Amino acid sequence: MITEALLYAATLPLTGKPHRKFIRYSVNLWSRAGRCAKDWAEHEEMSRDAIRAATTGLRQKRTAVVLGSGLLRDVPIKELARDFDTVVLVDLVHLASVRLRLTAKGYRNIRLIERDLSGYDHLAAGGEPEPLGFLRSVPYLDFVVSANLLSQIGRGVKRRYEAEAGRMPEDTVKRLITAHLAGLSGLSCPGCLVTDIAYTVIDRKGKTHEQADLLHGVSPPPAKAVWTWPVAPLGEESKDYRIEHKVIAAW
């Protein structure tokens, strides 16, 4: 708890006021990733491999954008920084630990942007959501990856929608997930989607107790790779069950 508190305190002054409320979530994710490092290792490597595969054969490697850069555990940042002239990392929060790591590695071609990628506020204002429209203004854009972000958008939007009952359209979650996928498919450069699409709660005997579609009925593009991510191994949330997510990669 002390380490988490220190990380929160170090990140607070580095984060814009509109996004400070999300620091706690990022710190909690950092803490869980540390506890579950062994169980998450294969998922993280599969994610990195998918992104590497998606960049193979690119004619130009000027600017790459990583949407949902997070802890960078699932992003091959070393290769991206080496191969591209500029790498732009976009997320709500960039933890102080991530910033320190980037500085320690001496990456001089990496830019950090704080941004809400959900499109929720634009939809709330009555507009047609285009959360990735800002990418059109990124110069020399040659590659974009959505890195284990889409289901997080869905969960975050669902929480806001339920808290603001009656204010937003009933199909808010589906519309914003669809808008993200449309933004990726409409890019003028190659893109890569890595996302978990479903979760399963399984007890010690292997019996399934709960399943859910994390994309809320929206169909993702055809997958080139599929794997299981043990998000919560036995003992993480309960001694009686584990939670597994189905992950796909498409490019």
- The string of pLDDT tens digits covering residues 129-157 is 999 999 999 999 999 999 999 999 999 99
pLDDT of residue 22: 96
Task: Kindly provide the b/e burial profile for residues 134-163, where b requires at least 16 CB atoms within 10 angstroms of the residue's own CB.
Answer: ebeebeebbbbbbbbbbbbbbebbeebbee
Give residue 56's pLDDT band: very low, low, confident or very high (50, 70, 90).
very high
Give the integer Cα–Cα distance in Å for 84 and 142: 9
- Please give the residue that has the higher pLDDT: either 41 or 1: 41
**Domain extent at residue 91:** 2-250
The predicted-structure confidence for 163-207, as pLDDT tens digits, reads as follows 887 789 999 999 999 999 999 999 999 999 999 999 999 999 999
Domain count within the chain: 1
10 Å CB burial of residue 58 (0-12, 13-18, 19+) is: middle
Give the integer Cα–Cα distance in Å for 161 and 172: 7
Pairing mode of beta strands 141-147, 191-203 = parallel
pTM of the model: 0.95
Of 91, 76, 86, nearest in space to 11 by CA: 91
Give the integer Cα–Cα distance in Å for 63 and 113: 14
pLDDT of residue 44: 98
Residue 56 makes CB contacts below 8 A (sequence gap 6+) with: none
The predicted-structure confidence for 213-232, as pLDDT tens digits, reads as follows 999 999 999 999 999 999 99
Give the integer Cα–Cα distance in Å for 134 and 91: 14
pLDDT of residue 109: 98
- CATH code (residue 151): 3.40.50
